[in-house]
């Protein structure tokens, strides 16, 4: 696969009994592709991967691989242990994934030597092209530009980085060391314009689960450097895009999906549905955005 464009960090839908809703998962993925997204990444933070069993993860990948046809499917690879992460990477290859998004381990975060060993084991477990996921606020491990360059030098199949530190200067730093060797993706919804200006060539997007047309339009304008079209669309979108960086981002994005008729707000524990004033404020922002939805 070619690492560029908008790849949706797809949510995981659940039925009333909290089992995975595979029928809607396939429908949702196809709908996003029909509205322009370039690929799907499953089993990420937004996909509630930490609440899924190993077998559920593999079943989700198989469902999406069948639904997407020629569009690339990327598997998020995260686990408590290196052994399980390597096993999931190999299962993802067998399921038909085109690439892997490699995360640091859950819970345990320590020094570069150990974190390098973990992600190196996953990257080298298959010949699939890989993206390194850097999200220090969520996973406590921070892969800085020199470390990323070191990994790229040792692993030919490491081809991309999802940069979710929230600091667009990281995009500049990675490109300064790696040039075009690695494709840098904006990993937070509210940094796409800043990331594109710094040299990002792709976006792992969240609100695309509810608003794919607007997401694709914003990305196109950003890539072309068309501030006249990008800036007003970004201003309209920002109250919703900022939901992607809140602690309860899964609940917010699933609520937005529900409001546009593309899914349910249902989440697995320990998450709970938004409630009270928090939910009312979220609905107010979502409905205000939808009421003023611009033409794209």
User: pLDDT per residue over 77-135, tens digit each?
Assistant: 999 999 999 999 999 999 999 999 999 999 999 999 999 999 999 999 999 999 999 99
* Calpha distance 128→92 (Å, rounded): 9
pLDDT tens-digit profile of 12-32?
Answer: 999 999 999 999 999 999 999
Alpha helix locations (H) across the chain?
22-34, 54-68, 82-95, 112-123, 136-139, 145-154, 169-178, 192-198, 212-224, 227-241, 249-259, 276-291
The answer to whether residue 139 is catalytic is no
* Calpha distance 279→146 (Å, rounded): 42
The answer to whether residue 108 is catalytic is no
Tell me which of 62, 162, 254, 262 is the catalytic residue.
Answer: 162
pLDDT of residue 246: 97
Contact present, 105 and 140 (Cβ < 8 Å)? no
Contact present, 16 and 9 (Cβ < 8 Å)? no
* Calpha distance 100→160 (Å, rounded): 10
| Residues β-bridged to residue 99 | 74, 129
Tell me which of 133, 139, 234, 252 is the catalytic residue.
Answer: 133
Residues of the chain with pLDDT under 50: none
pTM above 0.75, yes or no: yes
Q: Quick check: bond before 285 cis, omega within 30?
A: no
Largest Cα–Cα distance in the chain? Answer: 51
């Amino acid at each position: 696969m070619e690492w560029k464009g908008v790849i949706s960090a797809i949510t995981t839908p659940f039925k009333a009994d909290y089992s995975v809703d595979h029928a809607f998962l396939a429908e949702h993925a196809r709908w996003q592709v029909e509205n322009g997204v370039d690929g799907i990444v499953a089993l990420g933070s937004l996909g509630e991967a930490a609440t899924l069993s190993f077998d559920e993860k593999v079943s989700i990948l198989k469902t999406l691989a069948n639904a997407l046809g020629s569009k690339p499917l990327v598997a998020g690879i995260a686990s408590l242990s290196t052994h399980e992460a390597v096993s999931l990477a190999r299962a993802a290859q067998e399921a038909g994934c085109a690439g892997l998004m490699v995360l640091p381990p859950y819970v345990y975060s320590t020094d570069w030597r150990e974190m390098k060993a973990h992600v190196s084991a996953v990257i080298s477990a298959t010949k699939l092209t890989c993206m390194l996921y850097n999200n220090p606020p969520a996973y406590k491990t921070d892969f800085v530009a020199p470390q990323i360059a070191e990994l790229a030098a040792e692993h030919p199949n490491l081809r991309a980085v999802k940069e979710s530190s929230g600091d667009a200067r990281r995009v500049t730093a990675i490109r300064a060391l790696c040039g075009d060797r690695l494709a840098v993706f904006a990993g937070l919804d509210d940094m796409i314009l800043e990331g594109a200006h710094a040299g990002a060539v792709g976006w792992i997007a969240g609100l695309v689960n509810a608003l794919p047309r607007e997401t694709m339009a914003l990305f196109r304008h950003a890539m072309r450097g068309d501030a006249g079209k990008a800036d007003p669309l970004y201003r309209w979108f920002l109250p919703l895009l900022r939901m992607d960086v809140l602690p309860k981002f899964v609940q917010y994005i699933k609520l937005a999906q529900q409001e546009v008729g593309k899914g349910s707000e249902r989440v697995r524990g320990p998450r709970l549905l938004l409630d009270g004033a928090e939910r009312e404020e979220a609905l107010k922002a979502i409905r205000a955005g939808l009421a003023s939805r611009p033409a794209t």
